[in-house]
């Protein structure tokens, strides 16, 4: 039986400011990318999500980002290598400490937002994130954009890499994500999102925004948790995959 991991970005609420429905998403996904406080998330909220993830046996990853609370980590930045390595180590370490208290552990790292998109192609910043992960724990898995240069770069450095596809994002013909500022970049129809993900898992192909058929390697699918219909889309994706004979389990389960 074919299987796939479903992941979502969680733990992004900050004080009185609420982001997404983490509890509902944790009943759907098999892996949770937990904010580490730099782009979103306060310690108490992060700890609560970690405890809920542990209770539901959902695998936990560090969702590290640029030091950018105001911009939600979506603004491009050019930190020095010393800064980026230090910031990445700091975030992973903070989440590891909270995870220990929640009786779970950090199994992987998924960079967030602008950092994720930058290191997909920027070899220097990618090397910094890779070096930080290896400095903390070389057994941590890196989740990266399918088809991006960082996949080969990280694998050649000795890291295990999981390739990720995005359920509700449109793709360009070269396999990159359509810029969020452009029309059609985000797909909002749950049935459309679900059917394209079922095809991706069963055929390894997806239709780009210009109609081009492209191949994507994917061991995990991201279902966003911060859009208005996030839970509905995620649940439809899950139900469609299961109905199509696909087993859902975290890539950390082997």
Q: Percent of the chain having pLDDT more than 70?
A: 98
- The mean pLDDT of 55-65, rounded to a whole number, is 98
Q: What pLDDT was estimated at residue 66?
A: 98
Q: What pLDDT was estimated at residue 1?
A: 59
**Can you tell me which residue has the tokens 């979502």?**
8
Where does the pLDDT of residue 229 fall: very low under 50, low under 70, confident under 90, or very high at 90 and above?
Answer: confident
- The pLDDT tens digits of the residues spanning 115-171 come to 999 999 999 999 999 999 999 999 999 999 999 999 999 999 999 999 999 999 999
Which contacts (CB < 8 Å, 24+ apart) does range 177-186 have? Answer: 177/117, 177/145, 178/209, 184/209, 186/227
Q: Is the pLDDT of residue 227 over 80?
A: no
Q: What pLDDT was estimated at residue 13?
A: 95
- The mean pLDDT of 223-238, rounded to a whole number, is 87
Where does the pLDDT of residue 54 fall: very low under 50, low under 70, confident under 90, or very high at 90 and above?
Answer: very high
Following DSSP, what letter does each residue of 133-160 receive, concatenated? HHHH-TTSEEEEETT-HHHHHHHHTT--
- CA–CA gap between residue 231 and residue 119 (Å, rounded): 29
Single pTM value for the model: 0.95
Kindly state the tokens that stand for 187. Answer: 């797909």
Mean pLDDT estimate for the chain: 95
- CA–CA gap between residue 210 and residue 233 (Å, rounded): 23
Q: What pLDDT was estimated at residue 181?
A: 87
Q: What pLDDT was estimated at residue 120?
A: 95
- The pLDDT tens digits of the residues spanning 2-48 come to 999 999 999 999 999 999 899 999 999 999 999 999 999 999 999 99
Q: What pLDDT was estimated at residue 113?
A: 93
Q: Percent of the chain having pLDDT more than 90?
A: 93
Q: What pLDDT was estimated at residue 179?
A: 87
Q: Is the pLDDT of residue 224 over 90?
A: no
- The mean pLDDT of 65-84, rounded to a whole number, is 97
């Amino acid at each position: 039986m074919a299987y796939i991991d479903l992941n979502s970005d969680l733990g992004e609420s900050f004080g009185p400011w609420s982001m997404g429905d983490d509890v509902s998403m944790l009943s759907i996904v098999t892996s949770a990318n937990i904010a580490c406080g730099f782009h979103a998330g306060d310690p108490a909220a992060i700890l609560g999500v970690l405890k809920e993830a542990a209770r539901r046996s959902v695998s936990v990853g560090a969702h590290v980002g640029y030091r950018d609370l105001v911009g939600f980590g979506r603004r491009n930045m050019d930190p020095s290598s010393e800064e980026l390595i230090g910031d990445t180590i700091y975030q992973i370490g903070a989440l590891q400490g909270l995870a220990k208290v929640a009786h779970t552990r950090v199994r992987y790292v998924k960079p967030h937002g602008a950092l994720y998109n930058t290191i997909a192609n920027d070899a220097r910043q990618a090397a910094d994130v890779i070096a930080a992960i290896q400095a903390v724990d070389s057994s941590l898995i890196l989740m990266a954009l399918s088809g991006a240069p960082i996949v080969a770069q990280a694998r050649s450095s000795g890291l295990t890499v999981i390739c990720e596809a995005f359920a509700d994002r449109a793709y360009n013909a070269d396999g990159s994500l359509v810029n969020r500022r452009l029309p059609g970049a985000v797909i909002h129809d749950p049935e459309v999102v679900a059917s394209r993900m079922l095809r991706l898992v069963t055929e390894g192909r997806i239709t780009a925004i210009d109609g081009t058929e492209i191949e994507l390697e994917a061991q995990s699918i991201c279902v966003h948790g911060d859009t208005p219909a996030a839970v509905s889309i995620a649940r439809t994706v899950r139900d469609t995959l299961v109905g199509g004979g696909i087993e859902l389990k975290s890539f950390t389960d082997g």
